[in-house]
Amino acid sequence: MRLFAILALVFISYVNVSAQQKEIQLKTKYGSNNKEVHDLLRFQDIEVIDLKFTGEELKGKNYRLLVKEFTNGILAKTDTIISSKADSYLTPIDSTVFQFKFYVKTELNNVVKMESQFNRFSTTKRYDIKASKDNYALHDFVKSNSLKIESNKPIYIMGYFLPYLDKKTGWKKYCDVAGSKYDPEDWGKVFNIPSYFLMEILFD
């Protein structure tokens, strides 16, 4: 009986390890470790996040990164930042690690500028927005240090959005939006946010 219990425990451990190896996990890091660079980014109102995807499941996968713009609760625009299937100069992932940096800022002429920096190239997108007295904020959807991602299934990894006004307290909140139980596509209607952007990734 004891031998059976030990064998069962070994089998369960093996299954768990195998499952973890097949999972794609996302970990993120904001800003810069260099204080001067960090201070310069803050001065320029630039937000930057380093996104690191890891997992055996990444090998051989294509990748696609989208930006979806929502206005008054409605999907107004969908942009493809990058697609390894559509772009002839790109190839599928050949490693267990896929990583890039994402920069975003709201410029003085009411334009949101986004830049995704990969290992050998970068892509830039710009979006016109209405003037707002509130600042947009960048938040990822990582919880408990990592986000588990299924291959062949699109998933939102970041949001860049205006705050939610809590009418009871008069406070404007960002974390209550990013950490809420609501589908990100419903933020505009639920929180009455006039404008926001969602970044979606797919490995297939």
Q: pLDDT tens digit string along 149-182?
A: 999 999 999 999 999 988 889 899 998 898 899 9
Measure the CA–CA gap between 62 and 82, rounded to whole angstroms: 11
**Per-residue pLDDT averaged across 9-13, rounded?**
40
The DSSP 8-state label assigned to residue 163 in this structure reads P
The domain limits of the chain are 25-203
The per-residue pLDDT of the chain, averaged, comes to: 89
| pTM reported for the whole predicted model | 0.86
Hey, is 42 helix, strand or coil? helix
Measure the CA–CA gap between 113 and 179, rounded to whole angstroms: 24
Contact 81, 125 (CB under 8 A): yes
Measure the CA–CA gap between 142 and 201, rounded to whole angstroms: 14
**Per-residue pLDDT averaged across 113-142, rounded?**
93
pLDDT at 53: 98
pLDDT tens for each residue of 14-38: 334 444 447 899 999 999 999 999 8
**Per-residue pLDDT averaged across 85-112, rounded?**
95
CA atoms within 13 A on the CB side of 121: 8
pLDDT tens for each residue of 37-72: 989 999 999 999 999 999 999 999 999 999 999 999
- Give the start-end residues of each E strand in 36-169: 47-54, 63-71, 74-83, 97-107, 111-117, 122-128, 137-140, 147-149, 155-161, 164-165
pLDDT at 17: 40
